Chains A and B, each alone.
Chain A
Amino acid sequence: MAKKLINVSVNGKAEEKAVEPRTLLIHFLREELNLTGAHIGCETSHCGACTVDIDGQSVKSCTHLAVQCDGSEVLTVEGLANKGVLHAVQEGFYKEHGLQCGFCTPGMLMRAYRFLQENPNPSEEEIRHGMAGNLCRCTGYMNIVKAVQYAAKKLQEPVTA
């Protein structure tokens, strides 16, 4: 199958790759770029384990083609921490016991990261609706809600010099 050249920024790094037009973004990330944080759970956009951020939006990469990302900026869980410092959502999941098997976690984190930019000061109900596209089989969600609340609070704190 003829390949198409795409240019995409992934976690701030420019990538130029030739991909088959049918290649799904999740496979491009996992197989081509060895970024295995995002996972495949359902192939039907329901579970959200594959969630990444593309140009400021949460996207389920299992039903998105790599060629659709030509010219885009993609952020994955691997790009969330900054120079070894965890992002507030990562810290929240750790502190509030927001994960168990860890399989849904990268997608949850990426959705929480975007959601808190869409709604920096959410109520519990808003968190539950804003995160509803991501499924978890282990935690029962209560601690994930707490993790998002933790991150919301932390992100609102004034930055100390």
Chain B
Amino acid sequence: MNAPVQTAEAREIALAGMGASRLRKEDARFIQGKGNYVDDIKMAGMLHMDIVRSPIAHGRIVRINKEAALAIPGVHAVLTADDLKPLKLHWMPTLAGDVAAVLADEKVHFQMQEVAIVIADDRYIAADAVEAVEVEYEELPVVLDPYAALLPDAPVLREDLAGKTEGAHGKREHHNHIFTWDAGDKVAADAAFDNAEVKVSQHLYYPRVHPCPLETCGCVASFDPVQGELTTYITSQAPHVVRTVVSMLSGIPESKVRIVSPDIGGGFGNKVGIYPGYVCAIVSSIVLGRPVKWVEDRIENISSTAFARDYHMDGEIAATADGKITGLRVNVVADHGAFDACADPTKFPAGLFHICSGSYDIPAAYASVKGVYTNKAPGGVAYRCSFRVTEAVYLVERMVDILAQKLGMDKAEIREKNFIKKEQFPYTSAFGFEYDSGDYHTALKKVLDAVDYPALRAEQATKRADPNSPTLMGIGLVTFTEVVGAGPSKMCDILGVGMFDSCEIRIHPTGSAIARMGTISTGQAHETTYAQIIATELGIPSEVIQVEEGDTSTAPYGLGTYGSRSTPVAGAAIAMASRKIHAKAKKIAAFMLEVNENDLDWEVDRFKVKGDDSKFKTMTEVAWQAYHQAPPGMEPGLEAVHYYDPPNFTFPFGIYLCVVDIDRATGETKIRRFYALDDCGTRINPMIIEGQIHGGLTEGFAVAMGQQMPFDAQGNLLGNTLMDYFLPTFVETPHWETDHTVTPSPHHPIGAKGVAESPHVGSIPTFTSAMVDAFAHLGMTHMDMPHNAFRVWKELKARGMNL
């Protein structure tokens, strides 16, 4: 009996390809407790490592006594910097061109710095041994303020850099100075300010925060002394880069180093860097010849692994009297902590901060960023954003609000007036970025209509006029543009490796497929969305396409997942590899149908002879032919590899609106409404996109409304547990409304731009915009984050508005 003939539309639905909200392929294991995270990995003979950390922020190590620790039964070794020196592993290079101590060498530079490691039979004995290691310190003056760090008589923090006047990014002007990096045209910007009718300026502090994924960092290192092979399971967003670095550091050939990122419990930028704990576990395994596991606890994670932000920004805008922006100037002092361990493309020590002209057509702009050492943990990672884009968007959106206030203009009106127009794309900004596509006016109108913006403003006016109103109402509006998908290799590299990404696809004889990728999902559902791209490109159901990534022994080399680069770069590699297979498949189909390949049309899952619907070959039939008997002169098999080096970044954008009601008695804020419109170009899986947006908005809410990493005068971090560091629960988290427009990227093979970071980048200034707006009629133009109840209550009190 013949199978019923299915329409093209029905066959397309059955593929569950691009555009389908298909359920996630990875969920089956996670909902049954069968995920495979680093701490789940056990190996025969495995030992456990724990770390002795500095209780003080700055001091000399006078002596370390290991004896009591070594006397504990089950303790195998206690290692310090002196033990690593003969291996030249007591310092390691950072991704930012600096060096960082693996274990403190004579000095400690921040509280919780790694001083010694212990290796023991289990984690309990290791914890006992950590307590038993005696370290004597001589305390030194602590420097926590980056401005104070640059004073002429400031204590020297990095004695290892004594006399080094040239850093990785140019001249060092001071012993605590790392680099000064600038972008744009200073002369043109200064001229714009000289001729400005209106000028505004504001100091903005973007607080130090921590990405705090729910899974902390860790690894299991296993060195096989017989084969000379090292295998390491690791919580890394960039396993291939880790392999290259480990090979360079250890001298083990890269072919004998296998790095595996298994399931990762969230990354958000925290798992890009290479931490001392990883290096120590690897060294321990090499020294002891046994597998060694190290998994940090939450206090260690927040205290010592990479923080984000800590940017002190001075912004200035020049404009005409009717609100047309003519110039932008920004000066930043960036607190990088004790070692410069940012994870940015090599040529950009301040990341892509120069996207700070935002969605606006600003003719002249200049930004200068100064990196400074202090006695805090190293970092400065791209926390759910593409390399300082969050800071940049916050800067420009705050400054545009402030300009609107000065001019008495509405914040929607000033944005409309200054937007880059649809017909201006591709648009080259004053900082030199070439924006690929955008339609900001349409998106803004959609949001303002959806929330009935005039009605909100009318309600606010009524409340402002009522002295007995129990709440202050604020409306926040942000219209942001990101730069993601790093990136073109000509501009972006990490340790000299260009920031391409890769895909290898193999179609099996019976028509199912496997794809291997250079990226690694930390929750973004690559197994699902990548399969959907292939399904649409090749007409194979996404259900039977396996996606593998994270194992350097099987996956092609890629730069990993961060900076919203998976879809813009690896997603493009998938499309290109698929198209190579498609081209070969077409030749095979032509051979099978005995026609010229120009006589074939592609329809969903098959090649059809033009004008004759009855003559076709499906991709499944073609796959069998490829393995059974390829056409004469053609290689058997059906597979392709593609390394994709993007011609440009992609520029997703969004329009976010937030309504807050601030309780005048308590300073508590209720997020009444949050409306997020995102344009990420072509949408692969709307369900997953919405999930990513919900998550990013929630992380943005946390940063804006509650997160901070306060230090006391001695450099003690006062909030390094989840008792103190704010992660929103079900109760505080607002209800999110999402919307979208679709403006495909013209240079991306499927038009996709990347999405998961937009909601974090865009929401944070939206909350601040709303909070300040609530006070705007009282003369407030800015207040720094976090907007927690106590800080807001102080603002109410200062203005006599508290009830």
Contact of A101 among B28, B40, B522, B730 (CB under 8 A): B522
In contact, B733 and A141 (Cβ under 8 angstroms)? yes
Q: Can you name the residue of chain B whose Cβ is closest to the Cβ of A23?
A: B124
Closest to B298 in A: A42
Residues of chain B in range 721-748 having any CB-CB distance to chain A below 8 Å:
721-723, 727, 729-731, 733, 735-736
Number of interface residues of A (CB under 8 A): 58
Q: Do B298 and A143 have beta carbons less than 8 Å apart? A: no
Question: In whole angstroms, what is the CA distance A99 to B695 when docked?
Answer: 10
With A102-B26, A102-B35, A132-B729: A137-B691 Cβ-Cβ less than 8 Å: no
Q: Does A153 contact B (CB under 8 A)?
A: no
Contacting A at CB under 8 A, from B682-739, are 687-688, 690-692, 694-699, 721-723, 727, 729-731, 733, 735-736
Residues of chain A with a CB closer than 8 A to B643's CB: none
* Cβ–Cβ < 8 Å partners of B459 in chain A: none
Question: Using a Cβ cutoff of 8 Å, how many contacts connect chains A and B?
Answer: 172
User: Complex Cα distance A127/B730, Å?
Assistant: 8
Q: Which chain A residues lie closer than 8 Å to B40 at the CB level?
A: 30, 36
- Of the listed stretches B201-209, B258-266, B328-336, chain A binds B258-266
Contact of B213 among A27, A97, A137, A143 (CB under 8 A): A137
Q: Is A20 an interface residue (CB 8 A)?
A: yes
Which among A2-10, A63-71, A87-95 touches the partner chain? A87-95
Binary contact track B115-149/A, C-beta < 8 Å → 1, others 0: 00000001110000000000000000000000000
CB neighbors of A among B250-297 (8 A): 263-266, 268, 295, 297
Given A41-B298, A90-B32, A143-B691: A138 touches B523 (CB 8 Å cut-off): yes
By the criterion CB–CB under 8 Å, are A86 and B268 in contact? no
The reply to whether the CB of A25 lies closer than 8 angstroms to some CB of chain B is: no
Interface positions, chain A 30-47, Cβ under 8 Å from B, are 30-31, 34-44, 46-47
Chain B interface residue number, banded: 35 or more
| A152 contacts across to B, CB distance below 8 A | none
Is there a chain A Cβ closer than 8 Å to B458's Cβ? no
Task: Give the complex CA separation of A20 and B122 in angstroms.
Answer: 12
Which residue of B32, B42, B214, B691 is within 8 Å of A103 (Cβ)? B214
Contact among B28, B124, B688, B727 with A137 in the assembled complex (CB-CB below 8 Å):
B727
CB of A74 to closest CB in B, whole Å: 13
Nearest CB of chain B from residue A131's CB, rounded to whole Å: 5
B229 lies within 8 A of chain A by Cβ: no
Among B1-52, those with CB < 8 Å from A are: 23-24, 26-35, 37, 39-40, 42
Residue of A nearest to B688 (CB): A97
* Residues of chain A lying within 8 A (CB to CB) of residue B200: none
Q: Which residues of A contact B37 (CB under 8 A)?
A: 36, 39, 103
Complex-state Cα separation, A104 to B35, whole angstroms: 11
B residues in contact with A109, CB < 8 Å: 31
CB pair B722 A46 closer than 8 Å: yes
B298 with A43: CB separation less than 8 A: yes
User: Is B524 on the interface with A (CB-CB < 8 A)?
Assistant: yes
> Once the chains bind, are B124 and A20 in contact (CB under 8 Å)?
yes
Q: Does B525 contact A (CB under 8 A)?
A: yes
When the two chains form their complex, are residues A106 and B33 in contact, meaning their CB atoms are under 8 A apart?
yes
Instruction: Tell me whether B695 and A94 are in contact (CB under 8 A).
Output: no
Chain B residue with Cβ nearest A27? B123
Question: Among the interface residues B299, B522, B688, B727, which one has the most CB atoms of the partner chain A within 10 A?
Answer: B727
Q: How far is the CB of B261 from chain A (nearest CB, A)?
A: 12
Task: Tell whether B215 is near chain A: CB-to-CB under 8 Å.
Answer: yes
**Is the C-beta of A140 less than 8 angstroms from some C-beta in chain B?**
yes
Q: Which of B268, B722, B730 contacts A132 (CB 8 A)?
A: B730
B524 to chain A, nearest CB (A): 7
- Do A101 and B31 contact each other (CB < 8 Å), given the known contacts A43-B298, A95-B23, A132-B730? no
Q: Which residues of chain B have C-beta atoms less than 8 A from A17's C-beta?
A: none
Report yes or no: B722 in contact with A97, Cβ–Cβ below 8 A.
no
Which residues of A sit under 8 angstroms from B33, Cβ to Cβ?
35-38, 76-78, 80, 106
A20, A35, A44, A49: most-surrounded residue (chain B CB, <10 A): A44
A90 touches B31 (CB 8 A): yes
State whether A101 touches B27 (Cβ < 8 A). no
Measured between beta carbons, the chain A residues less than 8 angstroms from B691 are: 97, 100, 138-140, 143
Selected contact of B30 from candidates A44, A86, A102, CB within 8 Å: A102
Minimum-distance CB pairs A-B, first 6: A37-B33, A103-B265, A101-B523, A102-B30, A140-B694, A100-B523
- Where the two chains meet, the residues of B that have a C-beta atom closer than 8 Å to any C-beta of A are 23-24, 26-35, 37, 39-40, 42, 122-124, 212-216, 263-266, 268, 295, 297-299, 522-525, 687-688, 690-692, 694-699, 721-723, 727, 729-731, 733, 735-736
Inter-chain pairs besides A46-B721, A134-B730, 16 sampled, C-beta below 8 Å: A30-B40, A39-B265, A43-B299, A46-B723, A97-B23, A97-B687, A97-B691, A100-B691, A101-B263, A102-B265, A103-B266, A128-B731, A129-B731, A135-B722, A136-B214, A145-B730
**Can you list 19 A-B contacts (CB < 8 A)?**
A27-B124, A35-B33, A39-B215, A39-B265, A41-B265, A43-B299, A47-B214, A94-B27, A94-B31, A99-B27, A100-B692, A103-B35, A103-B215, A105-B35, A128-B731, A137-B213, A139-B691, A140-B697, A143-B691
Chain A residues packing against B (C-beta within 8 Å) = 20, 22-23, 27, 30-31, 34-44, 46-47, 49, 76-78, 80-81, 86, 90, 93-95, 97, 99-106, 109, 127-129, 131-145
